[in-house]
Amino acid sequence: MTTTTPAIETRELRKVFGSQVAVRSLSLHVPRGQIFGFLGPNGAGKSTSIKMLLGLVRPTAGTAFVLGAPVGDVDIRRRIGFLPEDFRFYEWLTATELVRLHGRLCGMSAARLRTRVGEVLDMVGLAPHRHRTLRGFSKGMLQRIGLAQALVHEPDLIFLDEPTSGLDPMGRRMVRDLLRAERERGATVFLNSHLLSEIEVTCDHVAFIKDGEVVANRDLATAWQDEVRVVVHAHHVSDGAMAGLVQWASAPRLEGDQLQFSVATEDVLPDVVRHLVGAGADVFRVTPEHISLEEVFVTLVGEDRGL
Amino acid sequence: MNGIWIMAGVTLREAVRRKILWTALIAGALLLAVFAVAMHLQVVEFQGRAMSPFVRYQVEAGMLMIGLYTCDLLAVVLTILTSIDTLAGEISSGTIQAIATKPIARWQILVGKYLGFVGMIVAYVAVTFGATIWVAHATTGVLPLHPVRGLVLIVFECVLALALTFLFGTWFSTLTNGVLVLGLQGVAFMGGWLEQVSGFSQSVHIVTLGIASSLVMPGESLWRRAAYEMQTPLAGSLSFSPFANVSIPSLVAVAYAGIYLAVALGIAIYHFQRRDL
């Protein structure tokens, strides 16, 4: 089990509840050290997939490995952290007691916990509430304490199911900074979220899931250099000019004075403009537009048809 | 194994911090007060009468059995009410997910929780039984014949009901779990009475029905065995009531209850290990 082993590797993972197929055939490859986004519409099988990877739900078919061990392996969980959606726990425990309990369940020593509990409560912004019981906690505070229990044992792989759904903008920023710090430490983060903007600014890579299958993968770390859509306002664009565009651009389309195409990177735009002008076109305006994750999402999974 | 003790500890702490244990203790204290007053009144009443010490002792021992029977009922009800939610509730709310993803096997979670409740039950039974016996002894000088055997059997009856709330809790919701276990307690109660009646009626069918009911849920036969161990030898022939026995459950019945508990807990563990959470 080396660090080159993928954090998560699944092959045709499937889950059927009665006659309902929750996850059709999930094949995933998550390398180490990434913040990996898992995106999909409601009912796409995201939560069931996470539960299978954590050993909470037994797969009907297929194989899955986390940190090199088959799912369901009890010992490997020492290196895994998990924040469930809508985290709830014994409300009679204080914040300190809750984090200490989870640390102990992860096999941490009492001596290590003495310093670590305060540290992790500080990280999630709950240090002033360390002696309060969960009974009086707001939804956002419960998310924060849930995050603390997921991170207390410094896991190598962290699963987060909708970690920011109950948080205000400051809380969301705190989670983003925390996840980046975890990545710096070398951890892999598997983030299940429906908040596209969160995924866009936080994740290195995103997998789109639809009907229990991965329909696309996208590398967000380099996304700003690729998939740039360009809108050009020009007159006299000849067929030859259009044909020549394919060396830089994909899917060129001309409608009246408006020419649209996609390029791999903005760096090629001067060459494109030179080509168009050289081929006799009068270029008035060139506007590069980055394709947002939301557009990719809608294109891939389709418009909301109602559930 | 460490995980088991962590879970047992947190379960015990939960019992102490929740109101239900303290409510049950207050209920026990109130009943004890009523019991103490009743014993005192009986002593005063006897002082005005010429009565053989032997008969007097038998009556007072009978009253002690009433007190102990009340403690037994309270302990069983407390066991069921505190434990019906522990697995069923945590599964339905998703609370269990944060624990079941820790490096601890599911059977350890279940056994740890079970042992936590056993700890609570032992403490509760020891306090309420001890206090009842102390009150009876202080007012009348009466003592149960084999108090430790009785206490062990009553704890046994409670942990048997506990095994059932755990078993059904891995399958059903909190409410269904409660209905099922209380329903089975009802069957056990009826079985106990039918077996008692059979001591008089000699009807083979009633005996069979009584035994069948006690096989479905052997809890009540443990109380009747406990009563037999604690009462004076003569008490059984004096009256016909749940506090004294006409038909005494054999040690085979006690052994059956042990097997019943082990099987219920075994199925609970097996199902909890395999089910989706």
Rg over CA atoms, chain B: 20
Domain that holds residue A233: 228-290
Give CA–CA dist B56/B39, Å, rounded.
12
> Which of A46-60, A198-212, A237-251, B43-57 shows the highest mean pLDDT?
A46-60
ipTM: 0.83
pLDDT of residue A223: 58
How confident is the model over A48-58, as pLDDT tens digits?
999 999 999 99
A304 in a domain, yes or no?
no
Q: With respect to residue A255, please indicate whether it lies within any of the assigned structural domains.
A: yes
Identify the pLDDT of residue A109.
93
The last residue of one of the domains, among A193, A219, A245, is A219
CA of B67: how far to CAs of A86, B38, B130, B196, in Å? 47, 10, 11, 20
From CA A244, how far away is CA A238, in angstroms rounded?
A: 10
Hey, what are A176's tokens? 């983003």
pLDDT at B241: 53
* Whether residues A163 and A270 fall in one domain: no
pLDDT band at A306 (very low <50, low <70, confident <90, very high): very low
pLDDT per residue as tens digits for the range A34-84:
999 998 888 888 899 999 999 999 999 999 999 999 998 999 999 999 999
Count how many domains chain A has.
2
Q: Using the predicted structure, report yes or no on whether residue B239 has a pLDDT greater than 60.
A: no
Cα angle value A26/A29/A30 (rounded, 5°) = 120
Do the domain assignments include residue A80?
A: yes
Burial category of B42 from C-beta neighbours within 10 Å (exposed 0-12, middle 13-18, buried 19 and up): middle
Asked if A213 and A243 sit in the same domain, the reply is no
Q: Name residue, tokens 């009626």.
A: B201
Q: Give the pLDDT score at B246.
A: 59
- State how far the Cα of A174 lies from the Cα of B31, in Å rounded to an integer: 55
Residue A112 placed within a domain: yes
Is residue A117 situated within a structural domain?
yes
Q: What is the mean pLDDT of residues B27-53?
A: 85
Nearest CA in chain B to A79: B103
* Same-domain pairing of A43 and A128: yes
Kindly determine whether residue B103 and residue A75, on different chains, have CB atoms separated by under 8 Å. Answer: yes
Q: Does one domain contain both A71 and A153?
A: yes
Name the percent of chain B lying above pLDDT 90: 51
Looking at residue B248, its pLDDT comes to: 80
Q: What is the pLDDT of residues B81-129, one digit of tens each?
A: 999 999 999 999 999 999 999 999 999 999 999 999 999 999 999 999 9
Probe site for chain B from A90, A106, A145 (most B CB atoms < 10 A): A90
Residues of A in contact with B3 (CB under 8 A): 105
B143: left (phi over 0), alpha (psi -120 to 50) or beta: beta
> Cβ of A92 and B18 within 8 Å?
yes
Q: Is B97 in contact with A56 (Cβ distance < 8 A)?
A: yes
For the ranges A295-299, A302-306, B56-60, B153-157, the maximum mean pLDDT occurs at: B153-157
Which positions in chain B touch A60 (Cβ < 8 Å)?
A: none
Element (H, E) at A254: strand A249-255
Taking only residues 100 to 159 of chain B, the set having a beta carbon closer than 8 angstroms to any beta carbon of chain A reads: 100-105
Give the pLDDT of residue B47: 80
Is residue A3 domain-resident? no
Q: In 3D, which of A123, A143, A142 has the Cα closest to residue A132? A: A142
Residue type, position A276, single letter:
L
pLDDT score for A26: 92
Yes or no, beta carbons of A90 and B100 under 8 Å apart: no
Domain annotation covers residue A245: yes
Query: How far is Cα A73 from Cα B33, in angstroms, rounded to an integer?
Result: 54
In CATH, what number is assigned to the domain containing residue A244?
Answer: 3.30.70.100
- Residue A126: which residues within 8 A CB-CB, separation 6 or more? A95, A141, A144, A145, A148
pLDDT digits (tens, 9 = 90+) for B124-183: 999 999 999 999 888 888 888 888 999 999 999 999 999 999 999 999 999 999 999 999
Q: Could B101 and A86 be called an inter-chain contact, meaning their C-beta atoms sit closer than 8 Å?
A: no
- pLDDT tier at B268 (50, 70, 90 boundaries)? very high
Average pLDDT over residues A141-153: 95
* Closest Cβ–Cβ partner in A76, A92, A107 for B17: A92
The helix/strand/coil state of B250 is coil
CATH number at residue A169: 3.40.50.300
Q: What amino acid occupies position A70?
A: P
> How many domains are contained in chain B?
1
Q: Which residues are bridge partners to A82 per DSSP?
A: A159
B271 touches chain A (CB under 8 A): no
At residue B75, φ and ψ (nearest 5 deg) are -65, -40
- C-beta separation of B67 from B33 below 8 A: no
- The whole domain housing B24 covers 2-274
User: Which residues does chain A have within 8 Å of residue B82's beta carbon, measured at their own beta carbons?
Assistant: none
Identity of the residue in B18, B98, B104 whose CB atom sits nearest the CB atom of A87: B98
In this structure, the answer to whether residues A75 and A195 fall within a common structural domain is: yes
Separation of alpha carbons B103 and A72, rounded Å: 10
Confirm if A214 and A27 have CB atoms less than 8 A apart.
yes
Residue A306 lies inside a defined structural domain of this protein = no
Q: Using 50, 70 and 90 to split pLDDT, how confident is the model at B238?
A: low
Q: What is the pairing mode between strands A20-30 and A8-17? A: antiparallel
What ranges make up the beta strands (E) of A167-248?
A: 188-192, 205-210, 213-219, 228-235
Minimal CA separation from A54 to chain B, in Å: 6
Task: Answer yes or no: do A173 and A285 share one domain.
Answer: no
Q: Same structural domain for residues A156 and A275?
A: no
